[in-house]
């Protein structure tokens, strides 16, 4: 296992170095960043793959994939502890919904598996793979925040993952003989270029955009896709377990990936907020009442993202009736009493029911 992972990651590193150089990226690493890139490489590109592959030799791939999906929980906890990455109840509920859905899907398989030493070892290895994936994702976020381009980061991290895998194989007295058959080389090329270079570049781009926990949660779709492929090619029956579990996974995706606030670098972008109350119903009343509700909603969303109204630097306001501006402004000033943010106000007479909508941009330096 370690030898195959080493060859795969060595090829990933070679391809990504070539791409980085072709794009004119500076491929050097600062001394302060080098240990962190090594850690990312060992965890994400080395141990995570080796332990997961070993787990699939002891338990079925469906159960291994189910356990691997818990990497989002590791990423959420570690990201919160070390990077102060915001973790909201909405996000945690979505993650748990996805994991519960996967458990329902795998229930028939789980009930059919004995709980012998081999099974327990397989689950432990899959759990180790999940921990390495989640922690490696958090370290990747730290490295990206340090300004390392994703292609350069992948080049070095994959190289360190390959070196670690080869060292492990050497320590374990494993054979380094390469299968030169066309099938093996074609499979290696596919795994390295398509399943690694392309996929992981997209994955780490997602980490940069939405954070480690949410990005790791996308792995929850892996066993679902595997089950669908099994239905097409292995005569798997799509029963009530699969349907119910699939709905739970999709619901979890909606909760995790549709949060109103997104952080990009040091800026937090909050989508336009209208006066929805805690019960989800539109709050009626005059412009003052609706303005307070909107600003309360904004404050709550920013708090979930680890910021506050004091961090807001820009607002865009839509008013159904421009004549409401004076009364709107009186309430608005109560929420921004000291250094009001820059703002734009636009008349929007076509808004239905809501008399006001506000979109904000906040400044919150990303953890270094």
pLDDT of 34:
96
**Both 282 and 160 in a single domain?**
no
Percent of the chain with pLDDT over 90: 36
In this prediction, residues 347-368 reach a mean pLDDT of 82
Per-position DSSP letters for 167-232, written without gaps between them: HHHHHTT--------HHHHHHHHIIIIIIIIIHHHHHHHHHHHH-HHHHHHGGGHHHHHHHHHHHH
- Three-state helix/strand/coil letters over 248-268: HHHHHHHHHHCCCEEEECCEE
Rounded alpha-carbon distances, angstroms, from residue 207 to 17, 109, 269, 350, 363: 21, 32, 16, 37, 19
The answer on pLDDT for 50 being more than 90 is yes
The answer on pLDDT for 230 being more than 60 is no
Element (H, E) at 343: strand 342-347
| Average per-residue pLDDT for the chain | 82
**Both 142 and 269 in a single domain?**
no
| pLDDT band with cut points at 50, 70 and 90 for residue 312 | very high
Domain boundary among 259, 292, 312: 259
The domain total for the chain is 2
| pLDDT band with cut points at 50, 70 and 90 for residue 214 | low
Start-to-end Cα distance in the chain: 35
**Both 178 and 299 in a single domain?**
no
pLDDT of 49:
92
Q: Six-digit token pair at 187? A: 């499979």
Phi, psi of 346 (to 5 degrees): -125, 140
Residue scoring higher pLDDT (266 or 16): 16
| pLDDT band with cut points at 50, 70 and 90 for residue 344 | very high
Q: What is the CATH number of the domain that holds 297?
A: 3.30.1330.40
In this prediction, residues 298-309 reach a mean pLDDT of 85
In this prediction, residues 259-284 reach a mean pLDDT of 80
Strand pairing class (267-273; 342-347): unpaired
**Both 138 and 218 in a single domain?**
yes
The answer on pLDDT for 132 being more than 60 is yes
**Both 319 and 354 in a single domain?**
yes
Query: Is position 120 within any domain?
Result: yes
| pLDDT band with cut points at 50, 70 and 90 for residue 44 | very high
161-196 per-position pLDDT tens digit: 999 999 999 988 777 777 777 776 787 777 777 767
What is the sign, positive or negative, of the torsion defined by CA atoms of 49, 50, 56, 59?
negative
Query: Is position 368 within any domain?
Result: no
pLDDT of 328:
96
Domain boundary among 239, 259, 279: 259
Residue scoring higher pLDDT (192 or 15): 15
pLDDT of 148:
92
Domain extent, residue 186, equals 2-259
In this prediction, residues 348-361 reach a mean pLDDT of 86
**Both 207 and 150 in a single domain?**
yes
pLDDT of 259:
63
In whole angstroms, what is the distance from residue 27 CA to residue 96 CA? 39
135 flagged as catalytic: no
In this prediction, residues 152-156 reach a mean pLDDT of 95
């Amino acid at each position: 296992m370690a030898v195959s992972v080493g060859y795969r990651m060595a090829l990933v590193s070679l391809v990504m170095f070539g791409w980085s150089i072709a794009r004119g990226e500076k491929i050097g690493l600062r001394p302060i960043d080098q240990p962190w890139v090594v850690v990312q490489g060992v965890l994400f590109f080395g141990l995570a793959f080796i332990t997961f592959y070993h787990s699939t030799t002891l338990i079925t791939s469906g159960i291994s994939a189910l356990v691997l999906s818990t990497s989002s929980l590791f990423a959420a906890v570690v990201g919160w502890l070390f990077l102060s990455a915001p973790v909201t109840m909405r996000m945690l509920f979505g993650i748990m919904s996805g994991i519960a859905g996967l458990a329902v899907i795998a229930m028939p398989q789980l009930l059919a598996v004995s709980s012998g030493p081999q099974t327990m070892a397989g689950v432990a290895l899959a759990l180790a793979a999940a921990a390495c994936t989640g922690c490696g994702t958090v370290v990747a976020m730290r490295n990206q925040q340090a300004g390392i381009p994703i292609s350069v980061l992948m080049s070095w991290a994959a190289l360190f993952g390959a070196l670690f895998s080869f060292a492990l194989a050497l320590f374990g007295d494993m054979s380094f003989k390469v299968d030169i058959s066309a099938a093996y080389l074609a499979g290696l090329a596919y795994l390295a270029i398509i399943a690694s270079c392309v996929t992981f570049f997209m994955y780490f781009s997602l980490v940069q955009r939405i954070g480690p926990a949410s990005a790791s949660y996308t792995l929850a779709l892996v066993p679902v896709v595997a089950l669908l492929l099994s239905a097409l090619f292995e005569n798997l029956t799509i029963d009530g377990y699969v349907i119910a579990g699939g709905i739970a996974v999709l619901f979890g995706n909606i909760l995790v990936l549709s949060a109103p606030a997104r952080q990009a670098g040091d800026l937090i972008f909050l989508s336009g907020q209208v006066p929805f109350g805690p019960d989800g119903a539109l709050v009626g009343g005059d412009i003052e009442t609706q303005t307070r509700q909107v600003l309360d909603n904004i404050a709550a969303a920013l708090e979930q993202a680890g910021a506050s109204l004091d961090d807001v630097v820009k607002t865009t306001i839509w008013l159904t009736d421009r004549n409401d501006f004076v009364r709107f402004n009186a309430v608005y000033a109560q929420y921004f009493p000291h250094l009001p943010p820059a703002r734009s106000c636009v008349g929007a007479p076509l808004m239905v029911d809501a008399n006001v909508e506000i979109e904000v941009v906040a400044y919150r330096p990303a953890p270094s």
